[in-house]
Amino acid sequence: MRKINFSAGPSTLPLELLKEAQEEFCDYKGLGYSIMEISHRTKIFEEVHFGAMQKAKELYGLGEEYEVLFLQGGASLQFAMIPMNLTMGGVCEYANTGVWTKKAIKEAQILGLDVRIVASSEEEKFSYIPKVEFSDRADYAYICSNNTIYGTQYREYPKTKTPLIVDASSDFFSRKVDFSDIALFYGGVQKNAGISGLSCLFIRKDMLERSRGKNIPSMLKYAIHAENNSLFNTPATFAIYMFNLEMQWLLNLGGLDAIHQKNMQKANLLYETIDKSESFYKGYAKKVDRSLMNISFNIAKSELENVFVKEAEEAGMIGLKGHRILGGIRASIYNAITLEQVKILCDFMKEFRHKYA
């Protein structure tokens, strides 16, 4: 029996895509070889590679003003690549909403840049999204759109004249986004758009000019990767293949508006189960900033949390143990998790409450 995987990432994949990949694993489209075995320079792989880029832009409704980059090193490498490529010798501004922004801030500081934290929710253990006003003259303004550990999410991005950088790793391809102020939108794809090993970046082409002429190693320079269509070195071919399948899956569902509606249904059902539990369960994030992707909560009797995880596993649900920093319980309900699967979790939660209340 297949488990329901509520892990924060790498996360569950649509079963139909796993079956499609399985069918093509040894014999890609009847050609007699696997997509993993062929050169990234062949026409066959280029169809996958460039098809994935085109579909990704189509989902977000982006035109020629943005370049799509496929890079390795995970989203974490971008914490350093962003300041290396985009700083102009001025101020770099960050809104600190948790572990991942703290890591990004640290990497910019290692480079000796003028880093300013203009908003933070650290004083309340990152349980909310702080109001932020970026200055008009910073080199860039940086946010993380969704925080996997604490379960907080920007409903709307800050408006700013400064180029906005968004780490969207954990709500990538889960909803439509207003790109008006966005200069760079990026994330690892292993939560909502494929498997680990691949990062996808949407970078406004004027930002590429900032990296040209800089003394940056070639593999870390955005302009080099853009000039080479993300084929400067051997790319993560199988991860791109899976990403391409997932992009088509999203298009077949009706695009990002359609998946957003499904994601809201799932989150509303789970939050309702928490809120109507007579304080047996308690959500971590402030209600106004609750994430649609990662629902972090506690059980009033904390000694029951390990019991909850164990019994959930016995009931066929995995990945519910909270992050080691926060503890508690966390259900990550990314795109591939269905409403029916969330209903199974909610029914289990109700039964667990009646059993131990």
Residues placed in the known binding site: 41, 75-76, 100, 148, 167, 190, 233-234
Tell me the two tokens of residue 115: 């880093």
Catalytic residue among 139, 167, 171, 289: 167
Beta carbons of 130 and 107 less than 8 angstroms apart: no
Q: Is 3 a catalytic residue?
A: no
Expressed in percent and rounded to 5, the helix, strand and coil fractions of the chain are 40, 20, 40
Using the 8-state DSSP alphabet, how is residue 150 labeled?
T
Catalytic residue among 100, 221, 262, 321: 100
Residues of each annotated binding site for pyridoxal 5'-phosphate: 75-76, 100, 148, 167, 190, 233-234
Q: How many CB atoms lie within 10 A of CB 38?
A: 16
The DSSP secondary structure of 186-238, one letter per residue, reads EEESTTTSS-TT-EEEEEEHHHHHHHTTS---GGG-HHHHHHTTT-SS---HH
Token pair 């309340």 in the structure block, residue: 124
H and E: helices and strands count for the chain: 10, 14
Alpha-carbon Rg of the chain, whole angstroms?
Answer: 21
Q: Is 191 a catalytic residue?
A: yes
Q: How many CB atoms lie within 10 A of CB 351?
A: 12
Rounded to whole angstroms, the Cα distance separating 270 from 344 reads 10
Beta carbons of 146 and 154 less than 8 angstroms apart: yes
Rounded to whole angstroms, the Cα distance separating 218 from 339 reads 45
The runs of H, that is alpha helices, within 37-182 are 43-60, 74-86, 99-110
* 182-188 vs 199-204, strand pairing mode: antiparallel
Q: Is 262 a catalytic residue?
A: no
**What kind and span of H or E run contains 293?**
none
Sorted by sequence, the CB contacts under 8 Å of residue 112 that are 6+ apart come out as none
Catalytic residue among 55, 191, 221, 262: 191
Rounded to whole angstroms, the Cα distance separating 150 from 91 reads 28
Active site residue ranges: 100, 167, 191
